[in-house]
Amino acid sequence: MKHLQTFQVFPDIPEELAFLETLSRNIWWCWQYHGVELFRRIDPRLWSWSGRNPILFLTYIPQKRLEELSKDTSFLSHLQRVQKDYERMCNLPPLPPLPEREGGKAGDALQATPRSALSKREGGKAGDSPLRPGEGLGEGLVAYFSMEFGIHESIPLYGGGLGILAGDHLKAASDMKIPLIGIGLLYRGGYFRQFLDQDGWQQEEYPETDIYHLPLERAKDRQDNDIKVSIDGPDGKVHAVVWRLMVGCIPLYLLDTNIAENSPEAREITARLYAGEQKIRVYQEILLGVGGMRALDAMGIHPAVCHLNEGHSAFSSIERLYQIMTAHHVNLKTALEIIPRTTVFTTHTPVAAGNEEFHPDLMRPFLKPLAERLNIPVEEVLSWGQAPDAGSDAPMSMFVLGSRMSQYCNGVSKLHGKVSRQLWAHIWRDLPENEVPITHITNGIHIPSWLSHEMALLFDRYIGPEWCLHPSQPDNEERIDHIYDEELWRAHVMNRSRLIRTCRKMMIQQYKRRNAPKDILRDAELALDQDVLTIAFARRFATYKRAYLLLQDPDRLEAILTSKTHPVQFVFAGKAHPRDNEGKDLIRRLIHFARRANIRHRMVFIEDYDIHLARHLVHGADVWLNTPRRPLEACGTSGMKAAINGVLNVSVLDGWWCEGYSDKRGWRIGNGEEYTDPAYQDAVESQALYNVLENEVIPCFYDRKNGDIPARWLMMMKESMKMAMRIFCSHRMVAEYHSRFYQPAKSRMTELVSQNAQEAVESAARLERLRSLWKHIRIEEPIRENDGHFRVGESFRVMTTVNLGEIRPDEVDVELYYGILKSVDALSLGHCERMDMLQAHGNGVYLYSCNISCNVSGRYGFTARVIPKGDDRIRFAPGGFITWA
């Protein structure tokens, strides 16, 4: 049918309940358990049927029920309490600084500017929609780009951990009143829904999301027109509209190409998350980065800092160059001094193959319009994403582009930072590995989003109702210790019982969809036991995560599952990538094993792993199992979500668990070894896993010497909760980004663009000067003053002669680089000592020296180098300036 006229009917909500509609339009409710319960108590069955989507839910509530609620004093009291919290959220000032994390930078001083502009509209009341785009946003704003955002299961804009992390980042920024906005894409098909066929083979479907049942509104300009942007590609212009989703105080702007102005092919660009065809992937990433920056510009929003959550959004820096050039009337070289100093780039991938690369022939038609706007050859833009000296035919790497355009580059755990420095050392080929400018900020979780209702009530009572705003306060740990064991165990048992009920319900739905016989349905009704040790394994079914490790010795696993005295049960969940047949086969193998008659009530696989199922699992499991192949887990956050609920982790020492592990709060598989033979590694670590389960985990859980509760297990639960609250919360993570990256970058933005961008202009001129003169620098091998044998406590002098040519001594640092010898020509961990100029010989030749103190015995080596003075942008630029003796 053509030329349909549309109209929409809204529920007639009584005035007493008007706040329900306001609440449904801000996803803030989803991390407030009083807000979740407010909707649920209206009609629990309808709430579940709606997918816990309040807009869809309110559409189907009978008018009679709404009238009843408008006269229900208990419900109105509940409503008013949530409304008070909501208005308080909108008007709260920024949070005070967090305390420092022991042994690290986390929680350094945090000072954010007030966000009244994002929480009130002129002439409105607290809690209304924010100002029109650009009004009152002022300076100091951070724009956070991500290909996916996992905020709630009713908003399917996520595929896995990257999106969940992005969602938690926005939520924590809202709680802390960090001046931040999000930029992403609006996928009509989202990520795939998973179901299994009779053989256990994964199938996928992409149901289209009805965006009119999501809390979205069109972004408007000051004349109340829809914001629209366009990008250029090989097939012509692609247009996009912009939607806004409020995440507490944080607006998330989402670009959508499914509009009439576009061709059918262009409308498909935002159809699905992570499209399979490379050309569509490039369109998506150009739209996210370039289109995202153009959308902000159209709304009058000019961020001081851009945070790129993975390389998908790296193209944003190219568009931002043009915007900086236009806004501040500077040339490209000057803009290139501003962008890296005001850009944060977070990498999440510990293997080279996982970082996206695109063939130059594919990229040139996309980059040509961008290059023309910058008035440079397309090959120059292409080179920004190519490794130094890689050649014009090298692929364009999103990591290389992202890191080249960012002075603030980080991995997402301590180990991942180290792995990333090893992986990308060739980009900074003249730097020692430990100086490669990739640091780390360990991920964290948004605790209110992942804590069970029962545990939240305990925290309210024992820590205080403000705990969710100050999760890293030192005295929180002592207060967790004060929770009575009986209360904590009762809450956990309730969570486990709810998990078992949920699993049974979902299994019955799975089997009915497959037309399973009645005896299978009856088995599903009796699957799992509410009193048995429950171990969860839930994550993406990538082969490196090794869900198969448990199946290495099927007989031993079966014995663990069927023990008469100390039985164990497993709940598996997770999706394989649609094109990952190895991952799909692994799911099928698990399904086939779990069909054995004597264990099928003890081992289940739940389809369609999403945020909703994840919450039940991290709330109700006793043990969270993680078996990645070290060091391929960048961080992993599901174990953190389990830990805050008192679930104990059993994991390989990889990702976050390297920092979180203690035998007081969980168990490790192995000792952090790394192997060259994967088959041997699997054999060794599978046996280690069985041993840990049989000899430590199971006996600890069933040790009930003091009655019906496992006292030692409860001690470990409390330690686990304290660890997660103190170290692995997103408030700590965002505070660390703010103090280490956002604040310095904001300050640099102000300095660089003030006085007609004078500092940036001078920096660009200096860079050109260094580029032309650096090749003439020569430094001789340093010499020591004796034979090289010393005792601890002694010191000695080292000298070297440097020919700087036309470069002045005040433009460089001459450094002695020394450390313990790893091999004949390599140091295991080098240290720098600045050398002082002793004498000027003339003609650009100088003598430098320094003293080395011998504090620890061993075999050492040293050399010397010349590097430019200045910030890391100049000192450590890829392919930059460094001359070694």
pLDDT for position 632: 93
Rounded Cα distance between 398 and 357, Å, is 6
Task: Give yes or no for a contact between 356 and 281, defined as CB atoms under 8 angstroms apart.
Answer: yes
| Distance of alpha carbon 26 from alpha carbon 440, whole angstroms | 32
The pair of three-digit structure tokens given for residue 278, joined into one six-digit string: 């490379």
Answer with the residue of higher pLDDT: 99 or 594: 594
> Quick count: other Cβ atoms within 10 Å of Cβ 463?
22
Q: What is the mean pLDDT of residues 339-357?
A: 92
Confidence of residue 109 (pLDDT cuts 50, 70, 90): very low
Please check the confidence at residue 96 and state whether its pLDDT lies above 70.
Answer: no
Give pLDDT, residue 429.
87
Q: Where does the pLDDT of residue 121 fall: very low under 50, low under 70, confident under 90, or very high at 90 and above?
A: very low
pLDDT class for 8, splitting at 50, 70, 90? confident
In the predicted model, what is the mean pLDDT of the chain?
A: 91
566 pLDDT above the threshold of 50: yes
CATH class of 116-443+735-756: alpha beta
What local confidence, expressed as pLDDT, does residue 128 receive? 38
**125 vs 374, more confident:** 374
Sorting pLDDT into bands at 50, 70 and 90, what band is 94? low
Instruction: Give the pLDDT mean for 686-714.
Output: 94
Overall average pLDDT of the 810-828 stretch: 87
> CA–CA distance from 680 to each of 486, 542, 585 (Å)?
44, 19, 21
pLDDT at 401 over 90: yes
pLDDT at site 254: 98
Give the confidence band of 329 by pLDDT, cuts at 50, 70, 90.
very high
- Looking at residue 2, what is its pLDDT? 65
Q: What is the mean pLDDT of residues 422-445?
A: 93
The pLDDT of 608-614, averaged and rounded, is: 96
Give the pLDDT mean for 207-234.
92
pLDDT of the residue at 627: 96
Render pLDDT for 369-398 as a digit per residue (tens, 0 to 9). 999 999 999 999 999 999 988 888 999 999
Residue ranges of the domains in the chain? 15-91, 116-443+735-756, 455-725, 777-884
User: Model confidence at 124, in pLDDT bands (50, 70, 90)?
Assistant: very low
Q: How far is CA 861 from CA 44, 629, 800, 824, 835, in A?
A: 70, 34, 15, 9, 16
636: its two tokens = 């992993």
With a cut of 70, say whether residue 129 has pLDDT above it: no
Predicted pLDDT at 473: 83
State the pLDDT confidence band at 874, using cuts at 50, 70 and 90: confident
> Where does 455-725 sit in CATH, by number?
3.40.50.2000
Is it the case that residue 839 has pLDDT exceeding 50? Answer: yes
The percentage of residues in the chain with a pLDDT greater than 70, rounded to a whole number, is 94
Average pLDDT of span 424-433: 90
pLDDT at 92: 63
**pLDDT reported for residue 388:** 87
C-beta atoms surrounding 691 within 10 Å: 12
Mean pLDDT of 510-521: 89
Report whether pLDDT(569) > 50.
yes
Q: How confident is the model at residue 486, as a pLDDT?
A: 95
What does DSSP assign to residue 224?
S
The stretch 414-437 carries a mean pLDDT of 93
The pLDDT, as a whole number, for residue 872 is 78
Q: Which residue has the higher pLDDT, 856 or 498?
A: 498
CB 864 within 8 A of CB 830: no
Q: What is the pLDDT of residue 107?
A: 35
Confidence (pLDDT) at 416 = 97
Q: List all residues 6 or more positions away from 705 whose beta carbon is below 8 Å from its beta carbon.
A: 711
C-beta of residue 169 within 8 angstroms of C-beta of residue 142: no
d(CA 180, CA 158): 20
The pLDDT of residue 879 is: 64
pLDDT surpassing 80 at residue 10? no
CATH topology of domain 777-884: Immunoglobulin-like (2.60.40)
**Helices (H), ranges, 43-141:** 44-49, 54-60, 63-69, 73-91, 116-119
- The whole-number pLDDT of residue 878 equals 67
Do 455-725 and 777-884 agree at the fold level?
no
Cα distances (Å, whole numbers) of residue 120 to 116, 137, 551: 6, 12, 56
To the nearest whole percent, how much of the chain has pLDDT over 90?
Answer: 78
Band (pLDDT 50/70/90 cuts) for residue 136 is very low
Judge contact between 189 and 272, C-beta under 8 A: yes
Handedness of CA 39, 44, 45, 49 (dihedral sign): positive
